[in-house]
Amino acid sequence: MGKKSLKSHDAETEPVFIDLVDPPLPNKEGDEDLFLSRPVCGKHTEAVTLSGSERLTKKQAEEMGRFKLSSLHVSEAFSHHGQSRRMFKSKNARSKLKKELDTAAFECYLETLWRSFSEDKKMSFTYLDCLWFAAYMNTYSKKNVLAWIKGKHIFSKKYVLVPIVYWSHWSLLIFCHFGENLQSENTTPCMLLLDSLEMANPRRLEPEIRKFVLDIYRSGGRPEDKQLISHIPLLVPKVPQQRNGEECGKYVLHFINLFVQEAPENFSVEDYPYFMKDNWFGPEGVENLCERLKSPAK
């Protein structure tokens, strides 16, 4: 599939090259063509169905068949991400939100959304580039990614938003109170994983997420014990679900939009899930946000 360059937000950092492979690949003869023909959420759910010992139920498999898919592969997303965002905004911004979001589109709209938040909110939050998690999973770029994250000073923030595009599907990981004592009784560090495609089992990413978090603590020179870090709770609330195979990126943007507005001053595991329930918002909320984010490009 070849390699693509990925640059950090720091212009002084050399670009790294990463293999554009979406793990896990199918292992049955004849499955690969079917797998590679699936875009975005379809490719993600196909990976879940075809890989590993954990299988979906017949009902879940039938539900997956409802999705009509016509979005970009992850390899294309990496390619588009390297293009000029200014060029993207002028040529494609209004059309992209009508259907799927690739990574260049997502980053542009996230930047627009971020500018709409108050300075008080920004003091408590930060976010990572949507490609950093996938790049971390590659041996050749892992060190660079951890250096970029260290530069974000995430342990000084109450919340860290980590958009993930992996297996060609979007989800949102949130680090809560990572700067606090892991044994604190009042403000317990935890993680949230918000996914609009619950049928594909979001917890399949948990092993990779936990490795990611452990390396972030280590690269940040934190004193926390490995055993304590490995027990940071990962919570997966039952959030509203997308209606087709093109909406996952837009749902992640809306998760970010609402979470920044509604997150408590101090997140407590005891009060979980707060507002994050299956009736949190309706499809019209997602569409209204999309219209709002398109308006600067008009």
Residue with more model confidence, 30 or 174: 174
| pTM of the shown model | 0.75
Q: What is the pLDDT of residues 221-269, one digit of tens each?
A: 999 999 999 999 999 999 999 999 889 999 999 999 999 999 999 999 9
How far apart are the C-alpha atoms of 107 and 129, rounded to whole Å?
8
Asked if 204 contacts 49 with a C-beta cutoff of 8 angstroms, the reply is: no
Residue with more model confidence, 6 or 31: 6
Residue with more model confidence, 189 or 30: 189
**Can you count the helices (H) and strands (E) in the chain?**
14, 7
- Domains in the chain, please, with CATH? 98-294 (3.40.395.10)
Q: What is the pLDDT of residues 283-296, one digit of tens each?
A: 999 999 999 998 75
- Cα 67 to Cα 64, 133, 294: the distances in Å are 6, 26, 25
3-state SS record for 141-158:
HHHHHHHHHHCCCHHHCC
Strand partners, 193: 173
Q: What is the pLDDT of residues 214-225, one digit of tens each?
A: 999 999 999 999
Query: CA angle, 3 as apex, 153 and 218 as ends, to 5°?
Result: 25
